[in-house]
């Protein structure tokens, strides 16, 4: 009998991702190549900040457009790092389910994701970016964390704010990746 390799699902088992809620999302570039931004001002007295590349500027514009376009979603905070983006996304209500009679534009590329506003947002974001870039720069999957309480929310908000400061000790930051800048 032939055995197929199945990927382990990163989804939280038993959780209904169609629920309204707040999600911490991480979207990485393919092979974690640092092409979205640079961290500048890393001296002792300088406060590190992100300097967006053309790719990062496009991602920034699309995040803002999607935030303005969808009334049932709100981008609470985000940071565009060199090889990944963190977004704190508030799904106010799920308008993706067919039984609500709502048309969620743009149409999902994967029908199984149609009832998940978080996946819908990421899929649409990647698709719009890729159209502007003329090719795909993103990893196929993304990471999400369900915000469980006010303390969890505050911790992830702080993480987003402080992420540029911690870039040099980030596990995704390596000398090998810097060759691609």
List the alpha helices (DSSP H) in the chain: 54-69, 117-133, 150-162, 175-178
β-partners of residue 133 are none
Predicted pLDDT at 104 = 44
pLDDT at 45 (0 to 100): 61
Q: Note whether residue 49 is domain-resident.
A: yes
* pLDDT value for 92: 87
- The answer as to whether 101 is a domain residue is yes
What's the pLDDT tens digit per position in 40-79? 875 556 677 889 999 999 999 999 999 998 888 999 999 9
Instruction: Answer yes or no: is 113 within a domain.
Output: yes
The Cβ-side half-sphere exposure at 70, using a 13 Å CA radius, reads: 29
Name residues of the chain where pLDDT drops below 50.
Answer: 1, 97-114, 175-177, 179-181
Domain annotation covers residue 144? yes
Percent helix, percent strand, percent coil in the chain, to nearest 5: 35, 20, 45
Would you state the pLDDT for residue 136? Answer: 96
pLDDT of 175 reads 47
CB-CB contact of 91 with 98 (8 Å)? no
- Distance (Å, whole) CA 144 – CA 152: 13
Tell me whether residue 174 is in a domain: no
Number of folded domains in the chain?
Answer: 1
- The CATH number for 97's domain is 3.30.70.1290
- The reply to whether 14 falls in a domain is no
Give the residue numbers spanning the domain of 146: 21-166
In this structure, is residue 172 part of a structural domain?
A: no
Q: Establish if 35 belongs to a structural domain.
A: yes
């Amino acid at each position: 009998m032939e055995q197929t390799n199945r990927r382990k699902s990163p989804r939280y088992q038993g959780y209904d991702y169609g629920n309204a809620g707040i999600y911490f999302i991480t979207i990485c570039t393919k092979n974690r190549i640092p092409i979205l931004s640079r961290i500048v001002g890393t001296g002792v007295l300088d406060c590190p900040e992100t300097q967006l590349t053309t790719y990062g500027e496009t991602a920034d514009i699309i995040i803002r457009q999607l935030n303005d376009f969808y009334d049932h979603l709100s981008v609470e905070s985000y940071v565009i790092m060199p090889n990944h983006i963190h977004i704190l996304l508030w799904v106010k209500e799920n308008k993706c389910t067919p039984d609500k009679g709502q048309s969620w534009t743009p149409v999902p590329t994967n029908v199984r994701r149609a009832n998940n506003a978080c996946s819908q947002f990421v899929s649409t974001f990647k698709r719009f970016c890729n159209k502007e870039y003329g090719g795909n720069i993103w990893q196929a999957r993304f990471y999400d964390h369900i915000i469980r309480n006010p303390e969890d929310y505050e911790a992830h908000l702080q993480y987003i704010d402080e992420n540029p400061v911690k870039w040099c000790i980030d596990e995704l930051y390596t000398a090998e990746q810097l060759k691609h800048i």
